[in-house]
Amino acid sequence: MTEGNRVIPAVSAKGLVKRFGGFTAVDNLDMTVPRGAFYAFLGPNGAGKSTTISLMTGTYGADAGALQILGRDALKEPLEVKSRLGVVPEELSLFERLTGRQYLVFSARMHGLSGDEASHRTEELLKLTELTAKGDALVAEYSKGMRRRLAIAAALIHAPELVLLDEPFEGIDVLAAGVIRELLSELSRRGVTLVLTTHVLEIAERLATHAGIIRGGKLVDEGDVASLKSRHQTDSLEVVFEKLIGVPASRDAKLSFYGTVAK
């Protein structure tokens, strides 16, 4: 989308603030996610990543600042913005007494797709997420990794322009992580804008085109990955993270890849 000669970013936050009582979770945050980017949103526990995602989805209202998503004012037009978003929260809430196929058809119908469209998109996404063989199994029988893939499929059912994923690799095994990694890579190749919060710096290093690093509710640096590395005179995103956050990231990155670190 363009405005005059300017390309409108997928996400543009200016001076964004969110407080919980006396605690400021997001503190005057400025953030820009270009269209088509795979944006890794990185930071330690409690830095404000999930709260920022919740502001983007409209789960929380901002106390101050401006937030535009896909060219729309997310604070004034939340319903319009939500209709164009796909969201995969960290804590999944799925209908366990439906089959995977039924759940996706239900999600499609909730987004206004016709019966034929819903069926077509469901089969396409079951294949894309490698769940076709389990499509008629109850969600209650799904493993944690399968549930995560189903949640991603549901988030994609209406072909959103922007997908927000909050810690999609948390608590899953290495095989499930590999499937999700390949799925996200394919979405990025198709030009879908992705914003991913993660502790797994290996994933960010491998897939991200852009990254932002948050500390204490403030975005301390962001940009395309090559520029970030150049500014900090390194060829490693992990080293950039360590410089900006001030603590080693390698241990958490390695352990959480195998699903052994709780948030």
The pLDDT of residue 203 is 85
Query: Which residues sit opposite 6 in a β-bridge?
Result: 3
DSSP 47: S
| Contact between residue 221 and residue 215 where contact means Cβ atoms under 8 Å apart | no
Strands 193-197 and 38-42: parallel
Please report where in the chains the tokens 């000669």 appear, as a residue: 5
Q: What pLDDT shows up at residue 250?
A: 45
Question: Which tokens sit at 126?
Answer: 């079951």
Nearest to 87 by CA among 190, 156, 135, 6: 156
Q: What is the pLDDT of residue 122?
A: 97
Q: Six-digit token pair at 77?
A: 């037009």
Instruction: Find how far residue 35's CA is from the centre of its chain.
Output: 14
Predicted local distance difference test score (pLDDT) of residue 247: 66
Q: What is the pLDDT along the chain (263 residues), one digit of tens a residue?
A: 555 556 789 999 999 999 999 999 999 999 999 999 999 999 998 999 999 999 999 999 999 999 999 999 998 898 889 999 999 998 888 999 999 999 999 999 999 999 999 999 999 999 999 999 999 999 999 999 999 999 999 999 999 999 999 999 888 888 888 889 899 999 999 899 999 998 888 889 999 999 999 999 999 999 999 999 999 999 999 999 999 998 665 444 443 332 333 33
Compute the distance between CA of residue 143 and CA of residue 149 in angstroms, rounded to an integer.
Answer: 10
Q: What is the pLDDT of residue 253?
A: 41
pTM: predicted TM-score of the whole model, two decimal places: 0.87
pLDDT at 6: 63
* Spatial contact of 161 and 69, defined as CB atoms under 8 Å apart: no
Helix (H) or strand (E) holding 210, with range, is strand 210-215
Q: What is the pLDDT of residue 262?
A: 32
